[in-house]
Structure 1
């Protein structure tokens, strides 16, 4: 009699999806903050967004780190998946 299949790891999939959402959100916020001075029409908004460039870079780098962690988890899961 063959062994039963291992249980589906729904908690792990949920954690992976949360990492993906966090990464995309942070990266998007960072990109918007960094691009806003070039796209804003008001001089006061441009000045305000130029002052927030460190926050934009932080959010962009944090988002990329989350996305990188997500990619590494998916790669590890793909490599350890049973073939057959």
Structure 2
């Protein structure tokens, strides 16, 4: 179980994008930038999930975790 309330069961071989983290990033980006940029995060999350690329999902989750920090490092975000 994640802190956002999502429950993952029987997911062997599945690629999961943590929707709670994406939603938190969406809200932060929408507040600090604009809704188009925030919506892009949701589009990327959906495409990663659709593609089933585990590495992409892990990198995207790390990107979103960095984005949640009070002062995210732009160089780290660019690398993701």
- After TM superposition, the score normalised by the length of structure 2 is 0.33
- After TM superposition, the score normalised by the length of structure 1 is 0.32
